[in-house]
Structure 1
Amino acid sequence: MLLDAYKAAGLLFYVNFLETTSSGAAQAYRGDLVLILGEVGDDKGHTKPPKLVLREAVILADDKINMLIGGLDKMESLPLLIEKYSADFAAEMKALLFVVNLTKPVKVEAAGVTLILVPLVQGVPWNEAMEELAMEKSDFKGQSPASKLESMLAELSSYQPAKYPVVSLEEALTMTNNAVREIHGAV
């Protein structure tokens, strides 16, 4: 399956889980999706961490990506994501991307699919997607991790944020500010 090929190519990083759905028809993944690989770090071929990722990605895929959720630090990374992965986008792929330096929510038609883009300076894409889709933890009660992604795709499939304007990719790339990702932790 597609995600196995990504794993073999080193495109999955900080893997939370990668598992096959109960039907066996697709794979579910949570973790980072590599946009720019790290350099070779030593003479044994070990690589350094990736230079750029789609943070905390949530992917449901068979031979194509059916659902893509994740976080980008900068809008300027969006064309790279599209260039690198659009050949693997399913025609009906649902995408919800949270972007730190985006000024307002929009929908963008790119690579034959609609990408919903939402500003997010801090937060976790999975939790923010649940909020955006008005889902509750109880909607996932008793489900396996892969089944939770199937439930999210079912909700995302019928989601139509009418209040978000449709803009071109070029216009969306200009809708930025100087926001940076807020990171909290031990001091």
Structure 2
Amino acid sequence: MLLDQFENQGLFFYSNFKEATSAGDMMAYRGSLVLVEGEILDEQGRRGKPSVMLDGTVMLADADKIKMLAGTIDELDQLQIMLDKYAKYFTPDTRVAMYVANIGDPMQVEVNGVNIILIPMVDGLVWNELVDEVRLEKSDFKGQSSADKLVTVLNALKSYRPKYEKLSLKEAQGKTNGAKRVDRGPV
């Protein structure tokens, strides 16, 4: 499975879970996804903390393609980094939602036939925001495993048609602002 490959390549960081869906045809992952690996620290090849991550990652994949990907990035410019590393695993049916700190309004961009929903977020959790975005309720997940909850979100995204402005990636990059993500640490 594709997510096993990502895990073996060290592309998962701060993992919450990685497990098969009940149908067994897909794997689900929540955690952080490495966009730019950390520098090599020693002769054994161990790496430091990644320099850029897709935090709050929510991902479903089958044997070789990503079916759904959501997460948060600090700057819209980091979207291109994500695309350079992972777009080869997308199909036109892949559902992508990115929560971006430095945009003021939600929008959509299409890259290589894949529609990417861009939503401003400086504070919040990707999972909660994504569930709200596709208008799911807690009762929609009753009795489901962690992995199957992601399948429910994917199915909601398949019929979700946001009315956000559609722009080219270049146009979207012209609509950024100086907002920064709010980091919360231990109290």
TM-score normalised per structure 1: 0.96
Q: Deviations over 1:46-105 (max 9, x none)?
A: 211110011111000001001011101100101111111111002200111100001210
Q: Is residue 176 of structure 1 aligned with residue 176 of structure 2?
A: yes
Q: Is residue 117 of structure 1 aligned with residue 118 of structure 2?
A: yes
Classify the secondary structure of the residue corresponding to 1:91.
coil
Q: Is residue 25 of structure 1 aligned with residue 25 of structure 2?
A: yes
- Aligned equivalents of 1:186 and 1:95: distance in 2? 30
Q: Deviations over 1:131-184 (max 9, x none)?
A: 11111122111110110000000101100012x010000011111111111122
- Aligned equivalents of 1:184 and 1:23: distance in 2? 37
The aligned counterpart of 2:97 is 96
Amino acid at match of 2:15: V
Q: Deviations over 1:116-143 (max 9, x none)?
A: 0000000010000011111112211111
Q: Is the 8 A contact 1:106 1:165 kept in 2?
A: yes
Q: Please list every run of 5 or more consecutive structure 1 residues that lacks an aligned counterpart in the other structure.
A: none
Matches within 5 A, 1:1-187: 1-62=1-62, 63-162=64-163, 164-186=164-186
- Aligned equivalents of 1:58 and 1:4: distance in 2? 15
Give the drift of 1:44: 2.9
Q: Is the 8 A contact 1:82 1:111 kept in 2?
A: no
Amino acid at match of 2:92: A
* Equivalences, count: 186
Amino acid at match of 1:151: T
Consecutive aligned runs of 4 or more in structure 1 exceeding 2 Å deviation? 42-45, 184-187
Classify the secondary structure of the residue corresponding to 2:94.
strand
- Aligned equivalents of 2:186 and 2:92: distance in 1? 43
Give the fraction of aligned pairs with identical amino acids, expressed as a percent. 46
Q: Please list every run of 5 or more consecutive structure 2 residues that lacks an aligned counterpart in the other structure.
A: none
- Aligned equivalents of 1:35 and 1:51: distance in 2? 8
TM-score normalised per structure 2: 0.96
Amino acid at match of 1:27: M
